Amino acid sequence: MTRITDSHCHLDFPDFDEERGAVIARAAEAGVARMVTICTRLRNEPSVRAIAEAHDPVFYAAGTHPMSAAEEPLAEVEELVRMSRHPKFVGIGETGLDYHYTAESADIQRESLRIHIEAARRTGLPLIIHARAADEDMARILGEEHAAGAYDCVMHCFSSGAELAQAALELGFYLSMSGITAFPRSAALREIFAAAPIERILVETDSPYLAPPPHRGKRNEPAYAAHTAARGAETFGLDFESFAARTEENFERLFAKAAAWTAPR
């Protein structure tokens, strides 16, 4: 079976409480051999870590989501560095800027973002970015910080404009395709992805949100990354197996810690 990775999901969310093991098993049946589950509030890191520890195919990342930045204690670089020492902790975030829902907390979001960037620099782990309605500030901060010291990054669930996509790609960052790219009205977004180098593309679900057709409107889950990957293959003019192989190479290049991990015997 062709292998793919769901590079961003939220397995700790209550949507999965009743059947988390079954959800992970269905992912494997669909060819989704690995998942990165994302902690969005650092106080929840122990429970997210426990999911990764209990399931071989699951890795995790942690950060403070920008929409929660004003509600949570400000993250500390050393705290993130300490968490990163866990063998299945593979990324910093998600962090970023969201001015669509939480523009009133823009200042604290920007401060939080820069803290996470410094943690990505110190750990060598990829930064996981959420960006909504903040393209100009996002491009500026990512560029300023990269000039101050290089780091790796993925623009998760990318659905912003072409200018931010180009800015991220010029910094050597990656763009991640979610179920949004499979929506019928997302032709403009697919064009942005089609113009990007295939070497910078990942696949994700952002489950339980944003289920792709034919499951749109229902709870999303990691198995459905296969539907997004199929649409991605069409976008890049590749067969499914070739697209899956390329995105797997990309994931392993960016998330090298996950690629190197082996289950203890």
Binding residues: 8, 10, 94, 130, 156, 206
- Cβ atoms of 100 and 132 within 8 Å: the answer is yes
Q: For 177, left (φ over 0), alpha (ψ -120 to 50), or beta?
A: beta
- Altogether, the residues listed in the chain come to a count of 265
Asked if the peptide bond before residue 87 counts as cis, ω within 30 degrees of 0, the response is: no
Give the amino acid at 101: Y
- Cβ atoms of 30 and 59 within 8 Å: the answer is no
Residues 73, 53: Cα–Cα separation, whole Å: 26
H or E segment and range at residue 177: strand 174-177
**DSSP assigned state of 134:** -
**DSSP assigned state of 229:** H
Binding region for a divalent metal cation: 8, 10, 94, 130, 156, 206
- Cβ atoms of 216 and 243 within 8 Å: the answer is no
Nearest to 62 by CA among 14, 127, 159: 127
